[in-house]
């Protein structure tokens, strides 16, 4: 497995991480826990060292699953998790919106350590910016956790560039997490240049456009009950019909190279910056192995140019998140 360093943090991880959110729901019913524990360990055996979770996934259950799966190999992996929502740490009850008050962060981290069966969190993100708590206070609280040895690195998720600058000035950030793929290229305008300037790594979630770039989804696809894509404007039937031209571009390159669309989409993303580490999620071993093929797929500069030129001709239709979810981002 190729390795990458997240910015100037010194945190070295596999070039591809594993997003674990879908293992406890989100794309429909949760998958068998034992199978998911096995899949996480299979991912490690194949070279993946970065595993991404959050208190909000489940809630709480995703961290518990990952803690069980990684306990035997804890010293060989990097665990990334996220705080930031008002969730009861005993019951998992969602009590409201965001909550990044310093005392809440510290209580959440203590609970996370128990769920994850570990003495420290390698990479702790603020999941969503809390408009009621200055980011400097959040950074200060995380800095105290780092000084105490409970956290080693920290990051922000779905944060704007000014928030990133303010946070980084108080406690240097190792990584920022946000959506990025050929299906959503918003970070290219402002975010990527700022991360490069400050020496912060980038961890894109939904690097396959929530499955759209795999070529396995079209306008006739029906998502199961409980699948979040049912509420995403970009996954309406009309939007899927219009956006298929983007998938066709990826398919054309994939067919020529004897690869899959997913592998081409991941290779394109990895080629954008050497400090980008995508975290595609899956609950299936054959999809995990397919995704790993994107790390070793050689895409030339000519092919990258071809993808960019053709992709620029496709005006992607539909918002990437439901309106309520968009309001919770700091973008």
Active site residues: 57
pLDDT of residue 27: 67
The DSSP result for 253-314, as a single string, is HHHHHT--HHHHHHHHHHTT-TTB----B-S-HHHHHHHHHHHH----HHHHHHHHHHHTT-
The Cβ-side half-sphere exposure at 292, using a 13 Å CA radius, reads: 19
Nearest-5° angle of CA 82, CA 209, CA 60?
25
In order along its 331 residues, the chain shows pLDDT tens digits of 999 999 999 999 999 999 999 999 766 667 899 999 999 999 999 999 999 999 999 999 999 999 999 999 999 999 999 999 999 999 999 998 999 999 999 999 999 999 999 999 999 999 999 999 999 999 999 999 999 999 999 999 999 999 999 999 999 999 999 999 999 999 999 999 999 999 999 999 999 999 999 999 988 999 888 888 988 888 999 989 989 999 999 999 999 999 999 999 999 999 999 999 999 999 999 999 999 999 999 999 999 999 999 999 988 888 887 776 766 676 6
Please name every residue paired with 155 in a beta bridge, in sequence order, or none if there are none. 125, 175
Quick check: 174 and 200 in contact, CB under 8 A? yes
Give all domains of the chain, ordered by start, each with its CATH number. Answer: 3-327 (3.20.20.100)
This prediction has a pTM of 0.94
Quick check: 19 and 211 in contact, CB under 8 A? no
Contacts 24+ apart (CB under 8 A), 218-227: 218/244, 219/244, 223/27, 223/28, 224/27, 224/28, 224/29, 225/28, 226/25, 226/28, 226/29, 227/26, 227/27, 227/28
């Amino acid at each position: 497995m190729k390795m990458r360093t997240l910015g100037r943090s010194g945190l070295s991880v596999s070039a591809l991480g594993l997003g674990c959110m879908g293992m406890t729901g989100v794309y429909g019913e949760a998958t068998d826990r034992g199978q998911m524990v096995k899949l996480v360990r299979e991912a490690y055996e194949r070279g993946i060292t970065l595993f991404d979770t959050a208190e909000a996934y489940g809630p709480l259950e995703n961290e518990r699953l990952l803690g069980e799966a990684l306990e035997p190999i804890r010293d060989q992996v990097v665990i990334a998790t996220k705080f930031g929502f008002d969730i009861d740490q005993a019951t998992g009850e969602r009590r409201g919106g965001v909550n990044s008050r310093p005392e809440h962060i510290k209580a959440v981290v203590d609970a996370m350590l128990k769920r994850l069966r570990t003495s420290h969190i390698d990479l702790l993100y603020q999941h969503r910016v809390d408009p009621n708590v200055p980011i400097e206070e959040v950074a200060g609280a995380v800095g105290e956790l780092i000084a105490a040895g409970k956290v080693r690195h920290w990051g922000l998720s779905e944060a704007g560039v000014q928030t990133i600058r303010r946070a980084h000035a108080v406690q240097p950030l190792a990584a920022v997490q946000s959506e990025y793929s050929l299906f959503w290229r918003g970070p290219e305008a402002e975010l990527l240049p700022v991360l490069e300037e400050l020496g912060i790594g980038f961890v894109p979630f939904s690097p396959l456009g929530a499955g759209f770039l795999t070529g396995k989804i079209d306008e006739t696809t029906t998502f199961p009950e409980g699948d979040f894509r049912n509420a995403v404007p970009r996954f309406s039937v009309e939007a899927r019909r219009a956006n298929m031209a983007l998938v066709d571009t990826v398919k054309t390159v994939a067919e020529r190279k004897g690869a899959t669309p997913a592998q081409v989409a991941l290779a394109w993303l990895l080629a954008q910056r050497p400090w980008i580490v995508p975290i595609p999620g899956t609950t299936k071993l054959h999809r995990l192995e397919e995704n790993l093929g994107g790390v070793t797929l050689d895409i030339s500069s000519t092919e990258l140019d071809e993808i960019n030129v053709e992709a620029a001709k496709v005006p992607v239709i539909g918002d990437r998140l439901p309106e309520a979810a968009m309001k919770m981002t700091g973008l």
